[in-house]
């Protein structure tokens, strides 16, 4: 029997099959392409099931190869990673200008992860119903200037007040498996409730003490959209530590740098301070945004510190 994992609790998995919903547990350990994972099975995985001899329980016998996945460094175990979701068609990163504020560095780390599997990504700016200071609106303009130009759609919404949110997103979601990700407190669950009323996800207010989001989603879960397609809601992410990426490959995941790769004086150019670097030249000419280049350098140095 074959099915798709729609919820993971860490020890038990909810699997959607042609015979209905099955609760299954994992049998043994699976080799995960030499990855050290905290979760051997992720939401979105296609798995093979079999019934136990007593026919009262179901086990996962194997995982079919993943087409893609979003993965980050584990916050709990050193040198381990956590697959957020697999076999997805696109990713929506929910960001906010404040309460909490999403940094450009966080956005860039997420986009590096999606680019590594060529997963289309969209940036959704939520909480546009709040009153913002000029510096917040300047930050919003930066987001548009940087990411719209790179081909990442940037949409502004208010999940609490926008009654037409379903109409504004339905064409993008229909028939696709979409990942919702972002910091805790950016409104993922509220957006989900508008798009899939049956989900009835619990939402909580932002902690006034820390100004950071309060976790309301404990485990990733997939929901079917009434109009067709699936949404994967994920736990809020405070930091997005990307996997070890070869120092000479990181620039491939910054879309604005790709067209200049191979044009540097040296083949092993890391685009830091090497003479004859085409990427540095184009950054100084204004073709690569300084904020994006800063993110590139920060990620590169972060990876260096872990080697």
Is there a single domain that holds both residue 219 and residue 263? Answer: no
Local confidence pLDDT in tens for the 307 residues of the chain: 899 999 987 778 999 999 899 999 887 665 555 566 767 889 999 999 998 776 667 999 999 999 999 887 765 666 667 788 999 999 999 999 998 999 999 999 999 999 988 999 999 999 999 999 999 999 999 999 999 999 999 999 998 887 677 777 888 999 999 999 999 899 988 898 888 888 764 444 434 433 444 444 457 899 999 889 999 998 776 665 666 678 889 999 999 999 999 999 999 999 999 999 999 999 999 999 999 999 999 999 876 555 4
In a domain, 243, yes or no: no
* CATH number, domain containing residue 22: 2.40.50.140
> CB-based contacts of 267: which residues, under 8 Å, 6+ apart?
none
Q: How many structural domains are present in the chain?
A: 3
In a domain, 245, yes or no: no
pLDDT of residue 205: 43
Rounded Cα distance, 181 and 95, in Å? 9
pLDDT of residue 202: 43
Rounded Cα distance, 85 and 43, in Å? 5
pLDDT of residue 244: 62
Is there a single domain that holds both residue 269 and residue 128? Answer: no
> Facing residues of 21 across strands?
16
Is there a single domain that holds both residue 76 and residue 212? Answer: yes
Which residue segment(s) compose the domain that 39 sits in?
A: 2-63
Of 46, 63, 80, which marks where a domain is finished? Answer: 63
pLDDT of residue 173: 93
Is there a single domain that holds both residue 173 and residue 115? Answer: yes
pLDDT of residue 83: 85
Rounded Cα distance, 123 and 181, in Å? 10
User: For the whole model, what pTM was predicted?
Assistant: 0.86
Is there a single domain that holds both residue 92 and residue 177? Answer: yes
Of 192, 208, 233, which marks where a domain is finished? Answer: 233
* CATH number, domain containing residue 147: 3.40.50.300
Is there a single domain that holds both residue 94 and residue 159? Answer: yes
Query: Helix %, strand %, coil % for the chain, to 5?
Result: 25, 25, 50
- Per the CB < 8 A criterion, the answer to whether 216 and 204 are in contact is yes
Element (H, E) at 127: none
In a domain, 241, yes or no: no
Rounded Cα distance, 273 and 290, in Å? 15
Is there a single domain that holds both residue 74 and residue 53? Answer: no
- Per the CB < 8 A criterion, the answer to whether 83 and 42 are in contact is yes
- Per the CB < 8 A criterion, the answer to whether 89 and 44 are in contact is no
- Per the CB < 8 A criterion, the answer to whether 174 and 168 are in contact is no
Is there a single domain that holds both residue 40 and residue 74? Answer: no
């Amino acid at each position: 029997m074959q099915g798709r994992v729609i919820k993971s609790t860490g020890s038990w998995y909810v699997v959607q099959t042609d015979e209905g919903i099955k609760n299954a547990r994992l049998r043994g350990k699976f080799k995960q392409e030499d990855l050290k994972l905290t979760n051997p099975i992720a939401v979105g995985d296609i798995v093979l099931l079999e019934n136990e001899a007593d026919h009262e329980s179901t086990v996962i016998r194997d995982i079919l190869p993943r087409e893609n996945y979003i993965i980050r460094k584990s916050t709990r175990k050193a040198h381990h990673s956590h697959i957020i979701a697999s076999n997805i068609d696109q990713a929506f990163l929910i960001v906010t200008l404040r309460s909490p504020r999403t940094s450009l560095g966080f956005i860039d780390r997420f986009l590096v992860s999606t680019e590594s599997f060529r997963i289309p990504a969209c940036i959704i700016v939520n909480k546009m119903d709040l009153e913002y200071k000029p510096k917040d609106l300047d930050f919003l303009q930066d987001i548009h200037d940087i990411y719209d130009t790179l081909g990442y759609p940037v949409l502004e919404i208010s999940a609490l007040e926008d009654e037409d949110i379903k109409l504004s997103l339905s064409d993008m979601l229909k028939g696709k498996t979409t990942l919702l990700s972002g910091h805790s407190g950016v409104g993922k669950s509220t957006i989900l409730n508008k798009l899939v009323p049956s989900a009835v996800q619990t939402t909580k207010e932002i902690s006034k003490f820390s100004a950071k989001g309060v976790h309301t989603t404990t485990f990733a879960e997939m929901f079917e959209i009434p109009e067709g397609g699936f949404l994967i809601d994920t736990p809020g992410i405070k930091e997005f530590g990307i996997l070890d990426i070869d120092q000479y490959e990181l620039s491939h995941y910054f879309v604005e740098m790709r067209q200049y790769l191979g044009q540097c004086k040296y083949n092993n150019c890391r685009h830091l301070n090497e003479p004859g670097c085409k990427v540095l030249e184009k950054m100084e000419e204004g073709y690569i945004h300084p904020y994006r280049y800063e993110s590139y350098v920060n990620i590169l140095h972060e990876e260096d510190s872990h080697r």
